[in-house]
Chain A
Amino acid sequence: MTVLGWTVALVIAFPVFWMVLTSFKSESEAISRVPHLFFSPTVDSYRAVQKQAKYLHFAWNSVVVAVGSTVLALLIAIPSAYTMAFSPTKRTRGTLLWMLSTKMMPPVGALVPVYLIFRDLGLLDTLPGLLTVDALANLPIVIWMLYTFFQEVPREVLEAARMDGAGPLRELYDLLLPLSMPGIVSTSLLAVILAWNEAFWSLTLTASKAAPLTAFIASFSSPEGLFYAKLSAASTMAIAPIVILGWLSQRQLVRGLTFGAVK
């Protein structure tokens, strides 16, 4: 099992490892047929990338979109999950499945209507526009996770609060939120990661002003030819913050991702 685990981990991590390695090579080393495992590392690509594009501009957009879309998704998802977990109707199950089914459709299926709506509302290449789309795209997963976490909160505790005179808002604010905080945190982390890595809508709905890091990477696979080292450097810079965040919050994430499995 351990051997298998390590093998899988290495296979999954290999491209990332290769990318980081390549980012420290020179452009000629990067494209050489025979891979160089030993080379003299250089940060030239990073310098070049910095010169060509303003990393911080894209990074800031990524932060705004990731955090903003997560907050927006939570604002919608918390009341929804609360209602579905504690006052379910006959249709609750169906609603949940339907929401999930929207994730099965490739996003490109909704591209034309979304694009047209964005154009008419003047939301193209704006941060509010992109973060709204990301929030809506992540909403089904966020609701599902919160729904599962809320269901773990004993119903009687909320009923006790109701007997004590708490209205729905108090119940939510004084009891449900503090009691399911670990769940909310891991859900938020997942939503941040998903929004951070989201490429499809970023590339189609933004150009420069609101472009996040995914667009930053894409700008290095440019028409004037592929520059592997620079592309790798850009990618490494793009994923570094989220990898560090993920690493710092490993425990929360594992609990979030295996929800339902370990009750």
Chain B
Amino acid sequence: MATVELRQVRKRYDETEIIRGVDLTIRDRELTVFVGPSGCGKSTLLRMIAGLEEISSGDLMIDGVRVNDVPPAKRGLALVFQSYALYPHMTVAENMSFSLKLAGIPKDERQKKVLEAARILHLEPLLERKPKELSGGQRQRVAIGRAIVRNPKVFLFDEPLSNLDAALRVRMRLELTKLHRELAATMIYVTHDQVEAMTMADRIVVLQAGVIEQVGSPMEVYRKPRNLFVAGFIGSPRMNFLEATVERVDALGVVLGLGDGSLLQAAVNAEGLGVGDRVTIGIRPEHILVSTSGDVAARVEAVEHLGGESYLHVRTESGSSLTVRVKETDVEPDDAVQLSFEARRLHFFDTDGEAVPCTPAGHGTGFQERIHERKS
């Protein structure tokens, strides 16, 4: 199949730079997901790869060949649009064979390819229908079929599931991952939904304001977010953040003051940190435990029951509000609870929002010893 490489790719509209120097290699047969908030430039970047937007500067290489000036159809890519963009006046079969017809492929061969794609996508009974006679999910499958028949080097998906209802979205998500395995194709998938990114991707590319914030496998990005933005964006519910100040720097790392008098030993690389520096501590809702012997006292403000699990919205004594994810629970609003943090799952970010690296002593991923001393 194919690799896609971006070298210092930029996009400018007049004075504003939308894509600000992106370097990225998309490996063969990998499903890469571009994720980020709306307006981060992920769709623009995809459209630049597709050839629908011009590249202001930098190089776009497909299989090692620079394709900046190659027209969209000649790049060997297929794009599935958010709105499906089916041809309304053509039947499903005509929609799928349009590109083949333009390429001058004989009729019987066209038919064979359309039937093959229809089989993969379970569209056989619908081939003679017009798009308006199809449901949302069926239209989406036709749009994918239109891409498959072209046998492209790379499949591009621009938020393909966002027009579907929640249940269908989950099903299509699975079907797409299955399709990716079946076709063994390189795919680039754009979404603003971090759940889609986490569940589908081989590698996630997190974008913000036209810049890549982090590239990595879903679990890498989840476990080791490189900065505050990624930490807050990946994971649902969102990561909790607590403000702290460096009180001491010692051999084990640093000791942080949480503001309510409690101290926290963080086993991090203290280089570049000094006493008095502001630090942000990050802890995911699923890494906070509710117990009777916890170290942090808090009051429950609201409870959201999802059935198998519940989200507690609590406020600590020092006034920070946290979200805690627990199994089925009977905790009610206004209850007092004790919380403890999973020490190895804490994240630390410096004043610039960059993750502070852990010391090797810290058991691989997270790592720090926590000592709580009450200051008198």
Contact = CB atoms under 8 A, between A and B. Distances in A.
A74 B309 CA distance: 64
Contacts of B98: 161, 164, 166, 174
A7 B188 CA distance: 63
B289 to A, nearest CB: 48
A160 B158 CA distance: 12
B interface residue count range (under 10 / 10 to 19 / 20 to 34 / 35 or more): 20 to 34
A64 B86 CA distance: 39
A251 B260 CA distance: 74
Contact of A156 (B77, B85, B150): B85
A35 interface: no
A164 B81 contact: no
B102 A164 contact: yes
Contacts of B86: 157, 160
B145 to A, nearest CB: 12
A164 B146 contact: yes
A156 to B, nearest CB: 4
Nearest to B150: A164
B88 A157 contact: yes
Interface in A153-194: 154, 156-157, 159-166, 170, 174-175, 178-179
Interface in B31-58: 50-52
Contact of A165 (B52, B73, B82): B73
Query: Could you say which of B74, B99, B146 has the most chain A C-beta atoms within 10 Å of its C-beta?
Result: B99
B99 A164 contact: yes
A86 B71 CA distance: 17
Contacts of A163: 50-52, 72-73, 77-79, 99
Contacts of B85: 154, 156-157, 159-160
B102 A170 contact: yes
Contacts of A161: 87, 98
Interface in B84-108: 85-89, 98-99, 102-103
A157 B139 CA distance: 13
A174 B86 CA distance: 13
B316 interface: no
Nearest to A164: B99
B89 A156 contact: no
A160 B99 CA distance: 10
Given A163-B78, A164-B73, A179 B89 contact: yes
B3 interface: no
A159 B85 CA distance: 8
B87 A175 contact: yes
B52 A162 contact: yes
A174 B102 CA distance: 11
Interface in B135-150: 146, 150
A148 B183 CA distance: 42
B240 interface: no
A140 B87 CA distance: 29
B102 A156 contact: no
A161 B99 CA distance: 8
Nearest to A165: B73
Contacts of B269: none
Query: Could you say which of A162, A165, A174, A178 has the most chain B C-beta atoms within 10 Å of its C-beta?
Result: A165
A156 B81 contact: yes
Contact of A160 (B74, B77, B79, B103): B79
B83 interface: yes
A157 to B, nearest CB: 5
A170 B79 CA distance: 19
Interface in A178-224: 178-179
Contacts of B51: 163
Nearest to A162: B72
Interface in A116-132: none
B84 to A, nearest CB: 8
Contact of B83 (A154, A165, A170): A154
A165 B103 contact: yes
B83 A159 contact: no
A171 to B, nearest CB: 11
A164 to B, nearest CB: 4
Nearest to A178: B89
Given A175-B87, A179-B88, A160 B73 contact: no
A168 to B, nearest CB: 11
Contacts of A160: 79, 81, 85-87, 146
B74 to A, nearest CB: 8
A157 B83 CA distance: 9
A163 B99 CA distance: 8
Given A163-B77, A164-B98, A166-B102, A156 B83 contact: yes
Interface string B187-230: 00000000000000000000000000000000000000000000
A166 B102 CA distance: 7
A163 B81 CA distance: 11
Given A163-B77, A170-B102, 18 more contacts: A154-B83, A154-B85, A156-B85, A157-B86, A157-B88, A159-B52, A159-B79, A160-B87, A162-B73, A163-B52, A163-B72, A163-B73, A164-B150, A165-B73, A165-B74, A165-B103, A178-B89, A179-B88
Interface of B: 50-52, 71-74, 77-79, 81-83, 85-89, 98-99, 102-103, 146, 150
Interface of A: 154, 156-157, 159-166, 170, 174-175, 178-179
Which 8 A-B pairs have CB atoms at the shortest separation, nearest pair first? A165-B73, A164-B99, A156-B85, A160-B85, A165-B102, A156-B81, A157-B85, A178-B89
7 contacts: A154-B85, A157-B86, A159-B79, A160-B81, A160-B87, A161-B98, A163-B77
